[in-house]
A and B are shown apart, each in its own frame.
Chain A
Amino acid sequence: MPHASVADSDAEDDLVVEVTDLRVHFPIRRGVLGRTVGQVYAVDGVSFHIRKAETLGLVGESGSGKSTLGRAVLRLISTTSGKILLGNTDITHLSDEEMRFRRKDIQIVFQDPYSALNPRLTLGASVAEPLVVQGLTDRKMLEQELGLLFNRVGLPAEARRGFPHQYSGGQRQRIGIARALALKPSLIVCDEPVSSLDVSIQAQIINLLGALQDELGISFLFIAHDLAVVEHISHRIAVMYLGKIVECGRTADIFKNPRHPYTRALIEAAPVTDPAARRRKRKVLAGEVPSPINPPSGCNFHTRCPLAMDRCRREKPVLREVAPEHTAACHLIDPAENFAP
């Protein structure tokens, strides 16, 4: 559960990561000569920051570019333009060699813990690998460190000797988290870490991530499509649509006063676990996310927006502040007044 006190401290030097105008475009190549015939605008001008011990939730549907963004921040894929500041270091153009020394500061937890673990390595060896790579080779210290890590994620130390297939999805995700924690990173990118887990196990992992943040002061970039999970764990939320952040703000503001029609549609579409509140005729957003190869003209969302005007088809809206710490990119928003459809 996010603790407001941490996120509210507004010391600017507390920034763990700051991303400015990041773009990741993938060329589409055709033919024997591999000529570039187009671009996939996976991430298209995204800026955000994350403070110490803060969780930024990144929500969006498939094709929104949220996972690409997460991988770009980790420098797992190269960026087309923009800047990534990790602490005070600009890592955007670091060589692989230089990046290796910075990797310990920024780690990732994947959606599917099974494919993220080597089936032939014991869990202990998987978790120890990053430590060994970074130079911790003393057998005794390594064992001690592993014991602490396993404990920290709620697994018995004996699990070190087990193999991934002997453990359930939830337990494997704990291993994935232990591995990410091993190098004491300042930021962990969590890419859909609970979406493949059963309901009862999801809650265990969500609580674990919250506890780790409280204890260790880690920051999370939490990528998920499940709005409820993101609301639960995030201090702030960024909503992505087709490569762009369309709204960003404190969690409570996003849910109580969503300003972008897409954010509203997402909240409206989320299933409510209360049959008594079953909406006979709920407003369901029509259509699907368009292709990022040929994004629509003007506002990316205009093809599905119930409120689209002529201007939306022509002119790209920019993110602007609609309230303190709350930005949205929609032509309908006049900063002076509340936007009501």
Chain B
Amino acid sequence: MEFEERADQLSPEEISTSLADGEILKKARQKLLATGAKLLIGPRGTGKTHLMRYTYSQSLLNKSAPLVLYSSFNRYLHLEPLLKKTPDALKRFHSWVLARILLSAFDYINDLSSSGDFLKDIDPIFDESKLRELVSLLERGSGVDLYESYGQYVTVDHAIKAVRSLTARFNRNRAVLLLDDAALSLSDQYLVAFFEIFRVLKVEGIAPKASVYPGTTQYGPTFHASHEVEEVPLWLSVEDPAYSTIMGDIANRRLTSDQQKVISPDILELFKYTAFGIPRVFLRLLREFFSERAGTSQSKVNKIIDQQVEFIGAEYDSIALKLKQFSSVIQIGRSFFSNAVVEISELQNKDLSKRNIVLGILQSGDRTPLADRMIRFLIEVGMLFPLQSVSHGQNRKYDRYIPHLAFLYQGGAFKEGKRNTFRGLPQLMSAVAAKHPLRREFKSLLSYRELADLKLDLPPCQKCGTQRFNDSQQFCHNCGEPLVGSSLFEECMKLPLSEVPGISEALIWRIHQDTKIRSVSDVVISQNASSELQKANYVGPRRAENIIKKVELTVEEFLS
């Protein structure tokens, strides 16, 4: 069986029926519809997109709800090469963001099978086909002419005007803008530019809501998250009293009744907790369970959890490939996390009558911004769940985190005797919590060597090979040459086809033999990749489409 774990791939019907209930989700849904700017916060896979798309389709037909528009900014990195190539990259990004918001107005009209002509009568800038062309050209790194003649004149006022006209036209009191995938976590410059727009979109009758990752606290000099917007957490804590119920609801909505009979309640319970509050991981665990050979043995379940641990770890490690300057930070973060898991597992396993899964890190002046960034990466991918910090006396404030339960499970935290059992973890989650977390200083979780290595990995000057001072340096102090950074997008485009998962070696060999296609970029940029691919033996339209899809998926994964 297959079920889709990515909300952006679900049909509107599936979106409507598959959203779980539960206090945290109800509250988040209310906040999305409420007035005022909000940030919807959760790591990848917590259901931000699902919730937004659900909110959108529910309010589409409900006349008493506000007008809700949905737009996604997950393709922002396609504009990243501009930052290296053109002085007005930020302006083009600006008009890309606004064009996407304006298009969400047209999407709304189209979804209601209405006509958008009235918008064009208000202002000729509201031109759906031009906007679509502009967006698609900008994402392909071109469109200079259209931007010059049209795109640059699209302003925030236009967006506001369009939203207001739509609100009036469809008899709604006010409007909500759902801005999905706004974490823009791989490009600080665009992040700042985005939240400048976000801030001015907040006017009477319009409430912008953006989905972001946890851990980010800086949204640029003009935007202060803490007092300008309300933060809406979506990441369900494993310590939430309703945790098991909410996760169970997700399973009920996605599993067939046959499947629900096959899986034992104990295993389901174990999966709920090892998913660590992230529905996408939960669904992945379930999918693995049902696609593996029959059987409910402990070793099969352990294998599935091991796989997920590896998968999450690989996702974390991949940040180092994307943000090369942070590769040491990522590597040391991994070892920091492993040490924490070992220590907590040991402590927890000594006494299984109390729950003892919280790590407390002493707040101290010697923690560098880079150390904070290191912890943020772990939070962003969902390996550390942040809790409120607590005070244990003067100058003894502790930041508290729960490490991912699947890692603790694998680390033996919940073993009864020498073996992991289905029930160990769920039972412990209903036990009382220990009074104090495992208290550590930041530096005690790392070796002396690792602490010293916690630095940015900046490429040396491309001309004379001198090391850089820091990441803000733009000219070599030895030879004076402008220092050139690498573009993440271009790195991705350079990937050879052999790096794309799911294409057999034999197929790649034939493509090499018969076509000019070598790298990811050849597929993505080509006007007609399909017909070029079909020049290879045994590649017809279906197989060509299949290859293109796989390449696109790789690009999306790489750039998200």
Q: Say whether A associates with B.
A: no
Give me the interface of A with B, judged by CB distance under 8 Å: none
Give me the interface of B with A, judged by CB distance under 8 Å: none
